[in-house]
Amino acid sequence: MNLTLKVWRQKDAKSPGKFETYEARNISTHASFLEMLDVVNEDLISKGIEPIHFESDCREGICGTCSMVIDGLPHGGQPGTTVCQLHMRYFQEGQVVTIEPWRAKPFPVVRDLIVDRSSFDRIIQAGGYISVRTGGTPDANALPVPKQNADLAMDAAQCIGCGACVAACRNASGMLFMSAKMGHLSYLPQGQAERSRRALAMVRQHDSEGFGNCTNQYECEAACPKEISVAYIARMNRDYALASAKEMAGVE
């Protein structure tokens, strides 16, 4: 398979970027999209051209680092699929493929297709604490958890923090990511003690990072490689409203 790639090249966040055109030749339809980029980079290096900079780690759809927009769609648009799981059989011979980084103010470009997503880390850090030492690890069955709650918590915990929800949202909102991180704790008994403080701290950090608000267009759910539901955003908004009311009333 032969393709034409239009790739966004940018030295750093302060430098202007532009699209460069490269040819991808003799690509196996069984290769992943990242493996295709590896082949292209090997060719570029052999010609003395700076390779395309992109992130990857696990290449198993777990870590979320392989984040890029392909033909206008985060992760390429295949349902429940990260870029590293996207195979070349979904493309056509001779197709022109446009590749660019996440486009969001809170995700400044580091280089080419790599963006700085440390804003997500700061959101987690804002709410990721415990106020009371709980001692050693308790027995797994010491705290009964209804199966429905356990399932919903695990569904939320699937979030890999890739940022596709932000890239897809017209407002660059990180609310699907944030609600998933909050949701997997709020469904479990261990997460109740800090539930209100967590909601306040994480939402305020989210807003201070420059992410926009949710306007219920559902692009985030459609782009999420783990297919996390926007229902978690509704639950997060409810938690935040209750926590704000308690704060105003001076109630812990």
Q: Where are the domains of the chain?
A: 3-110, 117-249
pLDDT of 129 reads 65
pLDDT of 241 reads 96
Beta strands in the chain (DSSP E): 3-9, 18-24, 69-70, 73-74, 96-100, 109-111, 114-115
As its CATH architecture, domain 117-249 has: Orthogonal Bundle (1.10)
As its CATH architecture, domain 3-110 has: Roll (3.10)
pLDDT of 131 reads 66
Name the burial class of residue 236, with classes exposed (0-12), middle (13-18) and buried (19+) by CB atoms within 10 angstroms of its CB: buried
Which two tokens mark 147? 């199966």
Please name which of 170, 20, 200 lies closest in space to residue 99, comparing C-alpha atoms. 20
Please name which of 245, 224, 146 lies closest in space to residue 178, comparing C-alpha atoms. 224
- Rounding to the nearest 10 degrees, give the CA dihedral for residues 63, 66, 67, 72: -140
Report d(CA 67, CA 100) in Å as an integer.
9
pLDDT of 130 reads 66
Residue spans of the chain under pLDDT 70: 129-132, 134, 252
- Rounding to the nearest 10 degrees, give the CA dihedral for residues 89, 70, 23, 96: 80
Equal CATH topology for 3-110 and 117-249: no
Per residue in 184-226, pLDDT (tens digit) is 999 998 888 889 999 999 999 999 999 999 999 999 999 999 9
* In contact, 221 and 230? CB cutoff 8 Å: yes
Report d(CA 45, CA 37) in Å as an integer.
12
Q: Write a three-state SS string for 29-54.
A: CCCEHHHHHHHHHHHHHHCCCCCCCC
Q: How close are the terminal C-alpha atoms of the chain, in Å?
A: 62
Task: Supply the pTM of this predicted model.
Answer: 0.91
pLDDT of 223 reads 96
